[in-house]
Amino acid sequence: MTHVVETGRSAAVFALVGFIVTYGITRWITRSIRARSENTPDDAEAASGGPVNDIYIGGVHIHHQVWGILLILTAGLLEFRFQPDPPWREVLAAAFGIGAALALDEFALWLHLEDVYWSEEGRKSIDAVMIATVFGVAMLVGTTPLGGIDEGNPSSTSVAITAAIVLVHVAYSVICLLKGKLATGLIGLPVPLLGLIGALRLAHPTSYWARRFYSERKLERAERRFELYVGRRDRMRDLVGGREQRTP
């Protein structure tokens, strides 16, 4: 912990812990509310009789993303205005992480502007949270392609080498995006190894890369591989965020 404080990463730790813990608690609450509602579909009083319930103000359901956005704005404004020393800096970081978890858990609602929380579209929120978690871990451990330059006495050679490395890393991410791998492309910026792996593996069968460069045989391979990937992804989504609500 001393090393974390000395390297200025304590705020990142508090933000990440606040994010992960809040997301876990939030999903537990929403899954509990959903289970109670499914077990008593014809009894509204029983469905709302548990220790946790949806919040209504003036008859309007207030989604938890609202509290998250307010918390992010408050923590950000206080940090920009006062730039406090520890421990208040860590308190604001934790508040920011908590707010980010509440907001990103309903990311799909931002995107679709309707309540799709338990639908297939709503599972984009789970993807957003997983990407944000990886970004948070990358920032905490200090993963960066810029570590090879001596800031005290940068030579033209070291600058050129570092610039070339950064360009290669960005190229990995761009290839991932062209291959239809949005999450891998974004994560590949702070974690270049994942970008390299994504760039080398088969593309999404409907992506620009597959349509432009793949033969019919390779496209069939990509489609088979993608079906396996979708199965693994959906199982992970079910584990993290709960199963989607399927319409009969």
Q: Render pLDDT for 43-65 as a digit per residue (tens, 0 to 9).
A: 555 455 556 777 888 888 889 99
Using CA atoms in the order 71, 123, 194, 196, what is the torsion angle rounded to 10 degrees? Answer: -130
Q: Which residues of 181-192 are buried (b: 16+ CB within 10 A; e: fewer)?
A: bebbbbbbbbbb
79-104 mean pLDDT = 94
pTM: 0.78
Q: Which residues contact 164 (CB under 8 A, 6 or more apart)?
A: none
pLDDT number for residue 220: 92
Look over the chain and give the mean of its residue pLDDT values, rounded to a whole number. Answer: 84
Q: How many CB atoms lie within 10 A of CB 90?
A: 19
Tokens of 69: 């956005």
Rounded mean pLDDT of 105-129? 90
pLDDT, one tens digit per residue, over 187-217 is 888 788 888 999 999 999 999 999 999 999 9
Average pLDDT of 95-111? 95
Contact 129, 105 (CB under 8 A): yes
Q: Is residue 103 part of a domain?
A: yes
CB atoms within 10 A of CB 154: 11
In a domain, 59, yes or no: yes
Say if 217 falls within a structural domain. Answer: no
Q: What is the pLDDT of residue 140?
A: 81
Residue 161 domain-assigned? no
**Token couple for 238:** 């079910």
For residue 219, what pLDDT is reported? 92
More confident residue, 209 or 120: 209
The angle at the Cα of 22, spanning 16 to 28, to the nearest 5 degrees, equals 140
d(Cα 115, Cα 100) in Å, to the nearest integer?
19
Residue 136 to residue 98: CA distance in whole angstroms: 13
According to the model, what pLDDT value does residue 6 have?
A: 64
With respect to residue 168, please indicate whether it lies within any of the assigned structural domains.
no
Confidence at residue 240, expressed as pLDDT on a 0 to 100 scale: 81
Report if residue 8 sits inside a domain. yes
Q: Is residue 110 part of a domain?
A: yes
How many structural domains are present in the chain? 1
Domain encompassing residue 45: 1-142
Question: When comparing pLDDT for 148 and 119, which is higher?
Answer: 119
Whether 234 maps to a domain, the answer reads no
What confidence tens digit (pLDDT) does each residue in 149-163 have? 455 555 567 778 878
pLDDT of residue 148: 47
- If one compares 66 and 240, the residue with the highest pLDDT of the two is 66
